[in-house]
Structure 1
Amino acid sequence: MASSIELDRFYNEEVEFPPWLLASHIDTAEREVRTLLAGMRSIQRENIDPSIQYDIVRTGSSYEGLKVKGEMELDFMIVLFHSEFKFIPMTSDYSGYLKIKAEQQQPQFQFHAAKRWGSSSPSHSFEYDFTNNGYLIPSQIYQWFQSLADRAVNENRSKFVKKFVGNFPARTLILNISPGVEICVDLVPAICIGRDLFVVAKPLKTSSDPYLWRLSFSVFERNILRQLPNSCHLKALKILKYLREHDTRLEETSQFASGICSYHLKTASLHLLAQRPDTPEGLHERLHQLMDFLLDGMQRRELNHFFMGNPSSLARDVQVPSSITHRERRLNLFGGEFVNESTLSQARERLVRIKRSLPAVIQQHYDAGANSCNIF
Structure 2
Amino acid sequence: MMPMEEYIVYFLILTVDIFIFYILMCLFNRYAYKLAAVQERAGQSHSLPGKQHINFNGAHKIGQRQCSQPQKRLIGFSNGQKGRHCQYCSQQKQLINPQGAHKKTKSAYHTLANKITFSKYEMKQYTMIAENTVRKLITQMKKEILSGDLIIDSDFIRAGSSFEGLKVKPDIEFDFLIPLSPPELYRFHFSSKTHGIPAMFCLVPILELQARSIYQKPVDFKKKFCSDWHLQSLAVRRWFQSLADRAVRSLPEISLEVRFSEKGPARTMKIRKSGIPEISVDLVPAIYVCGIYLVAKTYGGITECQHPLKDKLWRMSFSVQEKKILENISSHLPINACHQKTLQIVKHLKQSTPPLQWSANLSSYHLKTVWLHMLQKKSLYDWQHEKLDQRVLELIDNLVRNLRSKILPHFFIGNKHLLLRGKDVPKHVLQYENECNLFSDMHPSTLKQVCMQLEHLKYNLDNTVGKLCASI
The Cα of 1:298 is off from its aligned counterpart by 0.9
Check whether the contact 1:224–1:318 (CA below 8 A) recurs between aligned residues. Answer: no
Match of 1:314, SS state, is coil
Check whether the contact 2:189–2:290 (CA below 8 A) recurs between aligned residues. Answer: no
Match of 1:329, SS state, is coil
Cross-structure match for 1:208: 308
The Cα of 1:366 is off from its aligned counterpart by 2.9
- Give the 5 Å matches for 1:293-312: 293-312=398-417
- Which of 281, 285, 301 aligns to 1:185? It is 281
RMSD over aligned Cα, in angstroms? Answer: 2.1
- Give the 5 Å matches for 1:66-81: 66-81=166-181
Cross-structure match for 1:118: none
* Structure 1 unaligned blocks of 5 or more: 113-122, 370-376
In 1, the alpha carbon distance for the partners of 2:175 and 2:251 equals 21
- Give the 5 Å matches for 1:55-134: 55-82=155-182, 83-91=184-192, 92=194, 93-108=197-212, 125-134=220-229
Deviations 1:175-232 (A, max 9, x none): 012356111111111110133x111101112333121111111111111123354422
In 2, the alpha carbon distance for the partners of 1:217 and 1:143 equals 23
In 1, the alpha carbon distance for the partners of 2:328 and 2:105 equals 25
- Give the 5 Å matches for 1:137-176: 137-159=232-254, 161-176=257-272
Check whether the contact 1:169–1:203 (CA below 8 A) recurs between aligned residues. Answer: yes
Match of 1:74, SS state, is strand
In 1, the alpha carbon distance for the partners of 2:170 and 2:420 equals 30
Q: Does 1:340 align with 2:440?
A: no
- Which of 198, 211, 232 aligns to 2:338? It is 232
Cross-structure match for 1:116: none
Cross-structure match for 1:357: 460
The Cα of 1:318 is off from its aligned counterpart by 5.2
Deviations 1:63-91 (A, max 9, x none): 11111112111111111002221111112
Check whether the contact 2:176–2:282 (CA below 8 A) recurs between aligned residues. Answer: yes
In 2, the alpha carbon distance for the partners of 1:164 and 1:256 equals 30
Deviates more, 1:79-88 or 1:301-310: 79-88
The Cα of 1:312 is off from its aligned counterpart by 2.3
Check whether the contact 2:414–2:435 (CA below 8 A) recurs between aligned residues. Answer: yes
Q: Please say which structure displays the higher CA radius of gyration.
A: 2
Match of 2:419, SS state, is helix
Distance of aligned partners of 1:318 and 1:7 in 2 relative to their CA distance in 1, 3 Å threshold: farther
Cross-structure match for 1:219: 320
Q: Amino acid of the residue matched to residue 150 of structure 1?
A: D
Check whether the contact 2:159–2:175 (CA below 8 A) recurs between aligned residues. Answer: yes
Q: Does 1:16 align with 2:117?
A: yes
Higher relative contact order (CA 8 A, sep 6+): 1
Distance of aligned partners of 1:185 and 1:322 in 2 relative to their CA distance in 1, 3 Å threshold: same
In 2, the alpha carbon distance for the partners of 1:75 and 1:35 equals 16
Match of 2:382, SS state, is coil
* Structure 2 unaligned blocks of 5 or more: 1-101, 331-335
Q: How does the TM-score come out when normalised to structure 2?
A: 0.70
The Cα of 1:29 is off from its aligned counterpart by 0.5
The Cα of 1:346 is off from its aligned counterpart by 2.7
Cross-structure match for 2:357: 255
Match of 1:177, SS state, is coil
Check whether the contact 1:98–1:213 (CA below 8 A) recurs between aligned residues. Answer: yes
In 2, the alpha carbon distance for the partners of 1:274 and 1:301 equals 21
Calculate percent identity across the aligned residue pairs: 32
Cross-structure match for 2:108: 6
- Give the 5 Å matches for 1:311-330: 311-316=416-421, 319-330=424-435
Check whether the contact 1:4–1:284 (CA below 8 A) recurs between aligned residues. Answer: yes
Q: Does 1:278 align with 2:373?
A: no
Q: How does the TM-score come out when normalised to structure 1?
A: 0.87
In 2, the alpha carbon distance for the partners of 1:26 and 1:51 equals 25
Q: Kindly indicate which of the two structures has a greater share of residues assigned to strand.
A: 1
Deviates more, 1:256-265 or 1:123-132: 123-132
